Amino acid sequence: MMNKILTSLSKLFLPGIRLKRWLLVMIIGLVSLILFFMSTFGKAVANVFDFLESKLALIFSLGDMGGGQKLLVKVALLLIGLGCLYLGTKHIVGRLIDALMPEKKGKIAHLLYKSSELNQGKNVVVIGGGTGLNSILTGLKQYTNNITAIITIADEGRSSRILRNEFGMLPPGDFRNCLVALSDSGPLMAKLLQYRFQKGKGLKGHPLGNLLITAMTHLTGDFEKGLEEIEKILSIRGKVLPVSVGKTSLCAVLENGKTIREEPNVEEHKTKYKSEIKKLFLDPPVSLTKKARDAILHADLIVLGPGSLYTSILPNILVKGVVEAIKEAKNKNGKQAKVSYVCNVMTQPGETDYYTASDHVERMVQYLGVGVLDFVVLNDEKAPEQLYEKYKKEGAQRVKFDKESLHGFEEQYHVKVVLAKLMTKENLLRHDPDKLAKAVLEL
């Protein structure tokens, strides 16, 4: 073991690496600092320091050195030590950053400061799935490294459905989106992971990220371990965890008495079956993983959404142990974690047609229980009317802020309604990542 370490260290001194000179500078700095502290505070090296003083006096023709000249020597040693340490450290760390993260070249001070700031950020757990989670995760990673995304396992759409059935694994689609959102590997890597093959037998319709998760799951023999390895590759800020590792299917009992199975049918229950959902459930029931439970229990803030109400957020709440963990969650100071729900900006065709903000909140309380939610975050910013008209043609409407009903909920459900301007300035009706992150972190 020691031989391997020595062999690895010896490679740092190979020609062309340009580390030797800066290691030497660091050593000079350390020696200077040691001499400074020992000459100032230690009597054991008084003779050594006197010898150095005499030599310096001889070289610079200073004669007998008085107290002031001795002080100058000590100050010089201190400055030389600090200066050499700074220069040596800066260049060595810079070389490592240039080699490992070339896109961050020349940003050492900023990276060190930002890293320290992010590591001290709030411990935030975000629960949900789908593309709705991307916005808040993208925003949050600019303010904290302590993010855990807990993802639904009920996804049965397109590529995820095929890979789930053929390989007997958890559906990778929502995990891919969250890994991309939290990745610090740059926009090109994000585009690569989201690239969906347009042709090819067996490849058509699959995003590259889904195939990567599938391959890593089989290499490691475990879905969670596979995610951990991908997190390292993509330089993830935070963690991405499945809410459960059990295999299950999302089901619903409709108001007309019909029971429907599988997420795509639940997503389009109003269009396909012309009926509201009376009860949502998982079949078979599954339980919360230990890692996800630990993350929830130690959170400062727990955020539900944004995302599809019935197919991205509530499926997590249905998992055994989730509601109990949310109720028990306390931060490192022993204070109860704050729980917030981020309501969608637009309704989802076939799933939440004509739903108001209070309709969304009422469904959340139905499954969470009274007194669990602390905050409901609602968008209070309007977009250009032509954008709403465009979405209206696709069957989506703006989620209306029904003030009277929500104020009644504040008393009935003990939920505080928080209004904020959250719309993106892009040509889309969705949450702006930065605005949303700031809004929830201020709770």
Tokens 């020597």, residue located: 73
Q: Whole-angstrom Cα distance, residue 399 to residue 405? A: 14
DSSP assignment letter at 375: E
- What confidence category does residue 298 fall into, taking pLDDT thresholds of 50, 70 and 90? very high
Q: Whole-angstrom Cα distance, residue 340 to residue 303? A: 5
Tokens 């047609």, residue located: 353
Which tens digit of pLDDT belongs to each residue from 121-162? Answer: 899 999 999 888 999 999 999 999 999 999 999 998 789 989
CB 270 within 8 A of CB 350: yes
Which tens digit of pLDDT belongs to each residue from 236-288? Answer: 989 999 999 999 999 999 999 999 999 999 999 999 999 999 999 999 999 99
DSSP assignment letter at 398: B
Class level of CATH domain 121-151+284-443: alpha beta
Q: What is the DSSP string of 330-359?
A: B-TTSPBPEEEEE--SB--TTTSTT--HHH
Widest CA span of the chain, in angstroms? 104
41 CB contacts (<8 Å, ≥6 apart)? none
Q: Whole-angstrom Cα distance, residue 217 to residue 230? A: 10
Which tens digit of pLDDT belongs to each residue from 163-174? Answer: 998 999 999 999
Residue 390, judged by CB atoms within 10 A of its CB (0-12, 13-18, 19+), counts as middle
Q: Whole-angstrom Cα distance, residue 187 to residue 168? A: 31
- What confidence category does residue 88 fall into, taking pLDDT thresholds of 50, 70 and 90? confident
pLDDT at site 173 = 93
Q: What are phi and psi of 246, to 5 degrees?
A: -80, 150
Q: Whole-angstrom Cα distance, residue 152 to residue 142? A: 24
Partner residues linked to 302 by β-bridges: 125, 339
pTM of this prediction?
A: 0.78
Q: What's the half-sphere exposure (Cβ side, CA atoms, 13 Å) at 375?
A: 20
Q: Where are the domains of the chain?
A: 20-93, 121-151+284-443, 159-168+176-236
